[in-house]
Structure 1
Amino acid sequence: MTGGKEKWSFQEIWEVKAPQTVKIFGYLLLQNRILTRDVLRRRHISCPTECVLCSTGEQETAMHLFFQCEYARRVWLMAGGRFGYHLITIDQDVRTSWRRSWNRFKSRGLHVSKFISACFVSICWHIWLQRNNLIFRDNKIPPEIIAVRALDVGRMWAENC
């Protein structure tokens, strides 16, 4: 797709009700610049390649970590269950998956879409925090707890940011 897709990707993230740090995180995620293990290795930084969240031996890419990883899928499933529908649409890459999911939010109406978009970004942010928590503190929190935390924080952002 042409510039329209990129205009969407980078314009919508700044309108999310979330702290600026999280918006920057979302922007970097959409640019595939989050420091996942595949990006670190491309930058010649020695590290394992496997995803720490699912321990299946799959390479940790942004697409895997946030959308395909079994741990992440359980977080999305739990969070979506609270809304009564799936929050994500998995596609070929992060940007397309994000865009297709985002467009489904918009079809739900303005109030709902602002709330869900804050929760969507919060879920990605909390998956990232959990990944780092596991790497740096060796502390794995069940995906069900991460889902509840992410939704609670997303709700708070939607109401207060």
Structure 2
Amino acid sequence: MVGRLVAWVAEKKDSIWVHWVHHNHLKGKDWMAYTPSTNSSWWVIQPAGYTPAGCYKWLRDNRPTIPWHKVIWNVWVVPKHQFLGWLVAQAALNTIDKLVQYGMQVDDKCLLCGQSEESLSHLFFECQYSRRVLMAIQQLRGCQFPKANSIDRCATRGGSKIQQGVQAALTLGAIYNVWYQRNKCRVDRVVMRPEHVADEIVQAVKIRIRGREKLNLNVTDIAWLN
């Protein structure tokens, strides 16, 4: 928005403030050749005129949209589940395979199933404990969870946007609780049964849904949510 003011200066907009800037700072100098002092704001001029949206795109350098944003950043996901999902998408969790890479002498087997080396892809998308949690949710709510190997592929395809959002919320709830149970196993050497974990996930998502009841929903989505 500061950039918009800078564009007004460049365009010599009929404004007292613009006239003041030209009189006290530019003093007849060419704006495009003007060198501001070190305490002046940065500025961006675009050939087609300045817009905040255009400046934002220029700043972010037209980076491609991340593939997992619709899975994590939707209104149906519990906020703490969103945060952990973001960490998973960034590969920022210290799973055992990372600890081994750091040089730590630890058993590299998955704490939940003991069958393979613990990594992000194994823990959340291949581990039998994780799959049992998702299967238990599926039996409770009739959701379908496709086989996935990354966070951007974990949401159910098909259905309305609301249905996809809620099922993504259930998936991220599973990821959050699997990580919680993994840490609990590391400290206390005990884990909760997958069926009980699934029930807690469903209850948490239910509470989240009740907080979004004011959204405009069609009859089909209301019936599906009920």
Q: Which has the higher contact order (CA 8 A, sep 6+)?
A: 1
- Pairing partner for 2:110 from 17, 27, 51: 51
Supply the distance in 2 between the matched residues of 1:63 and 1:42 (Cα, whole angstroms): 16
Secondary structure class of the residue paired with 1:41: helix
- Pairing partner for 1:152 from 203, 206, 210: 203
Supply the distance in 2 between the matched residues of 1:54 and 1:103 (Cα, whole angstroms): 25
Determine which structure has the larger helix proportion and give its number: 1
Structure 1 counterpart of 2:152? 99
Tell me the CA shift for residue 85 of structure 1. 4.2
- Pairing partner for 2:162 from 105, 111, 115: 111
Give the CA RMSD over aligned residues.
2.2
1:13 equivalenced with 2:51 (yes/no) = no
Matches for 1:67-106 after TM superposition, within 5 Å: 67-90=125-148, 93-94=149-150, 98-102=151-155, 104=157
- Pairing partner for 1:131 from 179, 182, 189: 182
1:32 equivalenced with 2:91 (yes/no) = yes
Q: Which 10-residue stretch deviates more, 77-86 or 26-35?
A: 77-86
Tell me the CA shift for residue 86 of structure 1. 2.7
Structure 1 counterpart of 2:37? none
Residues 113 and 134 (structure 1), Cα distance of their counterparts in 2 relative to 1, 3 Å cut: same
Structure 1 counterpart of 2:194? 143
Tell me the CA shift for residue 130 of structure 1. 0.6
Identity of aligned residues (%): 22
For residues 40-59 of structure 1, give each alpha carbon's deviation from its aligned partner in whole angstroms, at most 9, with x where no partner exists.
22233332201010122x10
Secondary structure class of the residue paired with 1:102: coil
| Amino acid paired to 1:122 | G
Q: Which 10-residue stretch deviates more, 33-42 or 9-18?
A: 9-18
Secondary structure class of the residue paired with 1:125: helix
Q: Which consecutive unaligned segments of at least 5 residues does structure 2 have?
A: 1-62, 213-226
Tell me the CA shift for residue 17 of structure 1. 3.1
CA contact (8 A) 1:118 1:157 kept: no
| Amino acid paired to 1:82 | L
Larger Rg over CA atoms: 2
Secondary structure class of the residue paired with 1:155: helix
Q: Report the count of equivalent residues.
A: 150
Q: Which consecutive unaligned segments of at least 5 residues does structure 1 have?
A: none
Tell me the CA shift for residue 155 of structure 1. 2.2
Provide the TM-score with structure 2 as the length reference.
0.59
